Structure 1
Amino acid sequence: MLSTTISANPLKLDLRSHVKCILICFVATISMFQYGLDQALVGGFLSMPGFLKVYGYYDAERQSWSIDPTVQQLISSLVVGGVFVGSLFIGPFSSRFGRKAGLWTASLLNYVATAIMLGTSGLGPLCFARFLLGISVGWLLSFGQLYLHEVAPAHLRGIAFALFQFQLSVGGITGAAVDYGTHNIEDRRSYQIPLAIFFAAPTIQSVALFFIPDSPRWLVLQGREAEAETALRRLRNSSIDETELLAEFNEIKQSTREQVELNKKAVFLEMWRGTNLRRTLLSIAAVCFHSANGASWVIVYTTYYLQIAGVPDPFAYSILITSLGLIATIIGSLFIRYVDRRTIMIVGASMCGISQLAPAIAWTVSPGSAATGKVVVAFIGLFTFFYTGYTPYAWLLGGEYPNSAIRGYCYGFAAALNYLLVFVGTLTAPYFINPAGLGWGPKYGYIWFVSNFVVVVFAYLYLPETRDRTLEEIHEMFENKVPAHKFKTYVCSSVENYAVTAKEQVGRKGVAANA
């Protein structure tokens, strides 16, 4: 829906005035490359002879290397299990040490996990490394996203999350391309070479983090308001009007003080009390859109899926399909500032559902035929396009709904539950799609068509619209129990008063200076 939202954001609502902050957000999203890389690489490993000779077996009947469904499950799902466990600790860690410290710790875990995967040829150490890598990837994702929520100007949070998806897509393309280049190597180098890339993104980001400030909102939560103002100045261009900057800081400071006062008890319990209950449930629901659309089997098993569908050269096709995600990200970044979040959710989930249904029907009518193979390729590509086009904004909504005092706890819990569901989806997918299991193949899409339909209905009925709203405005609307359909037009008087107070303070200082 193309329309204007009423907002108390005191900043100039353009892009040029905030180039510096967008560059800082780019640094915070470098870690997102890692998740896309892992999804693409491991999906390719499951079809590599060099990998299957170590962790698989030779199928004499088919005269090819294969892998046991249980081993396939462990390799693919343990990362998701690690993300789930790690996400449970995001709240306590972020509350005490902040977002940047979380990213540095995640990078260290990544180095350990990658070193184990490179050096081992045993299934046990590989499984442990995959689990440890999951904790690392989960923290890289969640702490990076929390930072974006709290530093980007309200009208540019969508652009910041487009950067997040851009990094994911580039990571996926890189992984698919490297797999394509090494998949014919007959020994362990076929997967060790791609694994070595895991060191790159966390190293680059770890160094860059020394040059960017902490989240001003987190610093205010710690009672370090002078440091918070300094951090906000570092995030904003020097050309921004002083009155605008102080108005923004006053909004953050006063609203955060109020939120801390409202949440002085056990923070995890506060998530489920009063107006926080609605915010927590909405945050969980929005984040879990990610697991409800079926990406846990389409994205992770793209190469394998194409292979069992009889598609020639599945590695080359997987690069093409992954590239569609990057195209969707670029297109989405052009209109995200002008289209409502709810509209994006409804359209994205609808198209993901259709993209699950069509291959399922084709496979039911003519399993394994060349025509069905073409349908599979087309709709996996369509699914990838819309999935990567809308799911970043589900994460965005999930972090916008909680208040600042409990955002880390709520977002971490939502991420944990999401990845628990992804874990279940990834763990069970081989039983459905593997010929050694039920052998459904693309017919597995029937289940995910239904789940996408549920997402569409929920988004239409219950999601509040938050486009262009500051986090402080969102807090005020939830505290005033504004219905979801009225969020778009509601005037936030309290937040406006915070901004006006700051402008009056600047005016008095100017008069005193000229006296």
Structure 2
Amino acid sequence: MNNEIQYETKPAQGAEANEKGQIEHVNDVDVVKADANFKADAMQAEKMEHQMTVMEAVRAYPMACFWAFIMSFTIIMESYDVFLIGNFIALPAFANKFGVLNEATGKFVIVPRWQSALQMAGQLGALIGVFLAGPLTSRIGYRWATLVGLMAMNATIFIMFFANSLPIFFVAQLLEGLPWGIFIANAPAYCSEIVPMRLRAPATQVLQMFWAIGSIIVGAVTYHYNTRLDTSAYKIPTALQWMFPTPLAILMFFAPESPWWLVRKGRLEEAARSVERLGKKAKLNAGETVAMMRRVIDHESEESPNYIELFKGTDLRRTAIVCGIYAAQNLAGNLIANQAVYFFEQAGMSTDTAFALGLITSALQMIFVMLSWILTTYFGRRPIYIYGTLFNVVMLFALGIAASVGTSKAASQAQASFGLIVSVIFTFAAAPVSWAVIGETSSIRLRPLTTGIGRATYYIIEIPCIFLASYMLNPTGGNLGGKCGYVWGGTALACLITAYFCLPEMKGRSYREIDILFRRRVSARKFASTEIRPEEDE
């Protein structure tokens, strides 16, 4: 196979031609066209991706794996701060400074309305951020949009560090949420676009691993400081947020742009160079890979993408799947995972034990996320999501039952155990599978907008759920403790039923095949069995 990138182009001034009349060097190229036989090249590139094993894909695209890892690292900042605020609510020093005395327990607590407000402020900011991310990324690309977000993150941390009241903490969280929206909208799309087909699942699921790592760091830091009663107990964990943005910005400055985005913009030569940077030249043909991308994109509209298109034709179904899978993250156990420390306290554990269990939960989540890479790569997305959610439905109802039998030590330990299991299994099945589905479902042209509005759905569902979760757990509110398992078990059951009828299996499918399956309106349960021939275009 020829590894040279060949294009037909008009010679520019100063260009030199070899004896066959082919251009060997062009200083200025106004119009770039792929080889006339680009469809054959595209079919060959797609065939190669289908034939690759997972390890062959890793060896062929080592730098794609590296840059997916770096982009995914941006998620650690949202995870860190989400869990940080959740842990601050349970932190004695923070409660003593900003809370009110609970006469029943003799301890200071943050009142429910501020618990909810602090935990939803970042999500509200991110909701705005994801709507900014789509048009911004479509215009300037994933790389520069991410750099904008990282620099904004550096600035907003200052406000949180110097906050001396709950309203200022609220504003700080709101502003920090803006760059979160950019990161969370761009990361799954970028990761799914720079790796070959066999690596789409693990490359996007790394996002969940970094979410777990963020919670581990927060858990370790707050566990260390939870016995201190001065302001350093929450100011030092806040300052540690500065560890991430600048180093990541330096790395992202040197990152390659998504070749799919470049092809969409007609910058074919740059796309080919990006492919070469992502893989080993000896193991791929950049010209054929760009041709494969052209084949998919040439069937899309040339107009600038807009949000209205997400709700038209077959794109409506794709948008609904992305929005639904995002929304389900908040309805199938995620809220217990995000409030693990506070949940353990309300289940009857001591503060020190609650923080220790929170740290153990986060560590187990990271381990199980890595195990999920194997499952989704070899067994697919749909079965792992459905069976994982079914297991959590059972565990959530078991949690509610354990909380209903009395207030004994055994009942408290059972509640803590079920809460831990729900948190861990959520990050083993539903959560990591969601990232793979999000990265694969949308069309290439509308991907930045689709992932953005999908994450917006996540925040729209999460914000009222945070209020509900805080009210249910807070002793001055609903004081339900583990009985909240009945509520989340019911919502998880609804997610399970919806997924059974609506979630398609896209394992082992190229983006061309996925486009065709959606255009043919194939049933979700028949996605895996429907045959698409290599030469078919629709």
Using structure 2 for the length normalisation, give the TM-score: 0.86
Q: Secondary structure at the match of 1:489?
A: coil
Q: Deviations over 1:38-90 (max 9, x none)?
A: 23322221122221232212334422221111111111111111122211222
The CA distance in 1 between the partners of 2:254 and 2:304, in whole Å, is 35
Distance 1:109 1:352, change over 3 A: farther
**Retained in 2: the 8 A contact 1:50–1:186?**
yes
The partner residue of 2:415 within 365, 370, 376 is 376
Native 8 Å contact 1:221 1:260 kept in 2? no
Amino acid at match of 2:480: W
Structure 2 equivalent of residue 246 of structure 1: 287
1:471 corresponds to which of 506, 511, 526? 511
Native 8 Å contact 2:207 2:435 kept in 1: no
**2:184–2:455 CA contact under 8 A, matched in 1:** no
Q: 1:26 is matched with which residue?
A: 69
- Three-state SS of the structure 2 residue aligned to 1:292 is coil
Deviation at 1:208, TM superposition (A): 0.8
CA contact (8 A) 2:93 2:231 kept: yes
* Percent identity (aligned): 25
What letter corresponds to residue 477 of structure 1 in structure 2?
Answer: L
- Mapped pair 1:162 → 2:202: no
1:389 corresponds in structure 2 to 428
Q: Does 1:189 align with 2:232?
A: yes
For 1:256, the equivalent position in structure 2 comes to 297
In the alignment, which residue of structure 1 is the partner of 2:399?
359
Q: Secondary structure at the match of 2:508?
A: coil
Matches within 5 A, 1:270-285: 270-285=309-324
Cα distance change of structure 1 residues 108 and 54 upon mapping to structure 2, 3 Å threshold? farther
**1:41–1:175 contact (8 Å) kept in structure 2:** yes
Partner residue, 2:30: none
Q: CA deviation at 1:115?
A: 0.8
Cα distance in structure 1, aligned partners of 2:479 and 2:489:
19
Structure 1 residue 253 displacement after superposition: 1.2
Instruction: Name the SS for the 1:58 alignment partner.
Output: strand
In structure 1, what is the equivalent of residue 214 of structure 2? 171
Q: Residues of 1 paired with 2:128 and 2:257: CA distance?
A: 25
| 1:8–1:492 CA contact under 8 A, matched in 2 | no
In structure 2, the residue matched to 1:59 is 102
- Check 1:72–1:234 CA distance in 2 against 1; reply closer, same or farther (3 A cut): same
Q: 1: CA distance between counterparts of 2:64 and 2:536?
A: 23
Residue aligned with 1:88, SS: helix
Residue 62 of structure 2 aligns with an amino acid whose one-letter code is V
Residue 303 of structure 1 corresponds to 341
Measured against aligned partners, the alpha-carbon deviations of 1:483-502 in whole angstroms (never above 9, x if no partner) come to 3233223333366789xxxx
Deviation at 1:20, TM superposition (A): 2.3
Shift in CA distance, 495/206, structure 1 to aligned 2, threshold 3 Å: farther
1:423 corresponds to which residue?
463
CA shift for structure 1 position 143: 1.2
Confirm or deny: 8 A CA contact 1:8 1:473 kept in the other structure.
no
Matches within 5 A, 1:2-41: 8-11=46-49, 12-15=52-55, 16-41=59-84
Partner Cα distance (1:71, 1:497) in 2: 54
1:106-150 Cα offsets, whole Å, 9 max, x none, are 212222221111112022221111111122222222211111121
SS of the residue corresponding to residue 48 of structure 2 reads coil
Cα 1:441/1:236, change in 2 over 3 Å:
same
Residue type at the aligned position of 1:76: Q
State the shift of 1:9 in Å. 4.6
* 1:111-510 matches, cutoff 5 A: 111-242=154-285, 245-261=286-302, 264=303, 267-296=306-335, 298-312=336-350, 313-366=353-406, 368-390=407-429, 391-493=431-533
User: How many Å separate the matches in 1 of 2:205 and 2:392?
Assistant: 19
Would you say the 8 A contact 1:9–1:470 is kept in 2? no
Q: Which has the higher helix share?
A: 1
How many angstroms apart in 1 are the aligned matches of 2:471 and 2:210?
A: 31
The answer to whether 1:90 aligns with 2:133 is yes
Query: Which structure has the bigger radius of gyration?
Result: 2
Name the CA distance, whole Å, in 1 between partners of 2:344 and 2:206. 29
Separation in structure 2 between the aligned mates of residue 240 and residue 331 of structure 1, nearest angstrom: 28
Q: Contact 1:302–1:318 at 8 Å: present in 2 too?
A: yes
SS of the residue 1:65 aligns to:
strand
1:155/1:47 Cα in 2 relative to 1: closer, same or farther (>3 Å)?
Answer: same
Give the 3 Å change call, closer, same or farther, for CA 384–254 of structure 1 in structure 2. same
Deviation larger for 69-78 or 482-491: 482-491
SS of residue in 2 equivalent to 1:464:
coil
Q: Could you give the per-residue CA deviations for residues 350-395 of structure 1, whole angstroms, max 9, x where no partner exists?
A: 12222221111111111x3211211122112211221111212213
Aligned partners of 2:73, 2:320: CA distance in 1, in Å?
Answer: 29
Give unmatched runs, 5+ long, in structure 1: 1-6, 499-515
- Opposite residue 339 of structure 2, the aligned amino acid is Y
Q: Go from structure 1 to structure 2 and tell me whether the alpha carbon gap of 1:495 and 1:27 turns closer, same or farther (over 3 Å shift).
A: farther
Q: State the distance in 2 between where 1:473 and 1:495 align.
A: 11
Describe how 1:93-108 pairs up with structure 2 within 5 A. Answer: 93-108=136-151
1:9 and 1:392 map into 2 onto residues whose CA distance is 27
Q: In the TM superposition, what is the alpha-carbon distance from 1:426 to its structure 2 partner?
A: 0.7
Change (3 A) 1:24 1:9: farther
RMSD of aligned C-alpha atoms? 2.0
